[in-house]
Chains A and B, each alone.
Chain A
Amino acid sequence: MFLKVQLPWNVIIPAENLDAKGLMLQRSIIIRLLDDFSSKKATKDLGYFLAVTTLESIGEGKVRQHSGDVLFPVVFSCLTFKLFRGEVLEGVVHKILKHGVILRCGPIENIYLSCQKMPDYRYMPGENPVFMSEKQSKIEKEVVVRFMVIGTKWLEAEREFQALVSLEGDFLGPVSSSMM
């Protein structure tokens, strides 16, 4: 789910970037915030950080004792993307393995659908392996699949999420491209 959240952050402007002209300072604060924001990538609680939408306020700067840098408390709104357990979403298959498929959905690339969670489908080996059901429904590379999230995992080192998903349930499975 895409979320709009309001966050308070501190932006640090190095002493050498401080400028007597107010407008320039505001610009450096914004640029610094955007840089910090995109390098943050994601957090466990809020999910992936997409974009800052509005800067709500810039507070009064505080000089830091040792470096002379100035810290500005800012409040801004941003978009994030987080997967919730039990949520139904659509994603695109980008890898077919013997024991399941890997999908991408929004900014997340590691969404694993195990063959145990799609019991109607059988692995068909070959140059372009696919998963096929008895009803001739096919899961192959680039196919859109509607799935339910059954678990998510936050990887602190990579600042990334992994997710486990399932096709067990009504109205889940590959979505015909004509509907898109």
Chain B
Amino acid sequence: MSGEEEENAAELKIGDEFLKAKCLMNCEVALILDHKYEQLQQMSEDPMNQISQVFEKSLQYVKRFSRYKNPDAVRQVREILSRHQLAEFELCVLGNLCPETVEEAIAMVPSIKTKGRTHDDEAIEKMLNDLSLIKKFE
């Protein structure tokens, strides 16, 4: 990242180190933190010591903002989105916000429509349909 001035997630300019980093959807974070919470309680004599405020607030947040709760559904969401040549960052924004229309999806992740990329409206529509199916059958 050359300068902070240039950061713009809407154009997928978030710095190389973050583009390559693994991003996680809220529902994935909820599963991990829930499991971690149990682990910490078992492991330590004084568990509250290692459960920081950052941890607690994040756990509350991801529990409220997870569109998918069931671990199998969470895995499927990632699998479906992974088929669409998305950057990690884009994949997670879509999985978190679950847009209902193609228009909404593009507003949430404008970078999917930038030059040189192959997402036509039909492909995006198909992806959104697949996602809403998982939600229905969860």
List residues of A whose CB falls within 8 A of some B CB: 1-5, 31, 34-35, 38-39, 41-42, 48-51, 53, 79, 81-82, 84-90, 92, 104-107, 109, 146, 148-149, 169-172, 180
Contact = CB atoms under 8 A, between A and B. Distances in A.
Contact of B32 (A1, A41, A53): A53
B24 interface: yes
Given A170-B107, A171-B107, A87 B36 contact: no
Contacts, number: 120
Nearest to B25: A2
B55 A38 contact: yes
Interface residues of B, number: 45
B121 interface: no
A49 to B, nearest CB: 6
B50 A50 contact: no
20 contacts: A2-B92, A3-B22, A3-B23, A5-B21, A38-B51, A38-B54, A41-B52, A41-B54, A48-B58, A50-B29, A50-B58, A51-B33, A79-B29, A79-B33, A85-B7, A90-B65, A107-B53, A169-B107, A170-B104, A171-B108
A151 to B, nearest CB: 10
A98 B50 CA distance: 38
B22 to A, nearest CB: 4
Interface of B: 7-11, 13-14, 18, 21-26, 28-29, 32-33, 36, 40, 44, 49-55, 57-58, 61-62, 64-65, 89, 92-93, 96-97, 99, 103-104, 107-109
